[in-house]
Homo-oligomer: A and B are copies of this chain.
Amino acid sequence: MDPLEQRVLAANLAFYEAFAAADADAMLNLWSQHSPVACVHPGMPPLYGRTEVINSWRQIMAHPRAPRIHCTDAKVHILGAVAYVTCNEGLLDEASSLIATNIFVLEDGNWRIVFHQAGPLVTKSTVVRPSQYPHGVN
């Protein structure tokens, strides 16, 4: 794999390791200091700005039932000094149930996350199809 892609994948992995470990300080350090950050938790409206985003992660990870999410099928897409990763998210020992996108920027030599969006992946067990579209895709 391309060394650049490897470094982005490592940053993506660090994000999920911080999430799984409920390590709020590690999570804080992974987010960009200088670029505009935003975050879309599943089903929720977007959060904007480092303070609001970081606070949401602190709240999620402080919860006693905080999910232990893992990431699979991560694919890196490089756009110069920006990269985006698409991946699946799921609970350990369970099938993936969310689809996520993470955007990273190269900042002071490190890839920092600027954006995270996760949304439900429709599975056989899904009761309600949550979308109006795509018609005709399947």
User: 0/1 per residue, A86-114, Cβ < 8 Å to B?
Assistant: 10100100000111010101000000001
Q: Considering the complex, which residues of chain A in the window 38-61 have a beta carbon less than 8 Å from any beta carbon of chain B? A: 38, 40-46, 48, 56, 59-60
The answer to whether B79 and A40 have CB atoms under 8 Å apart is no
What residue in chain B is nearest A78 (Cβ atoms)?
B36
Q: Is A137 an interface residue (CB 8 A)?
A: yes
How many of chain A's residues touch chain B, expressed as a range? 35 or more
The answer to whether A129 and B80 have CB atoms under 8 Å apart is no
Question: What would be 9 A-B contacts, judged by CB atoms less than 8 Å apart?
Answer: A43-B120, A43-B121, A46-B99, A81-B82, A103-B103, A118-B119, A118-B131, A119-B131, A120-B130
The interface of chain A, by Cβ under 8 A from chain B, is 35-36, 38, 40-46, 48, 56, 59-60, 62-63, 65-67, 69, 75, 77-82, 84, 86, 88, 91, 97-99, 101, 103, 105, 114-115, 117-122, 126-138
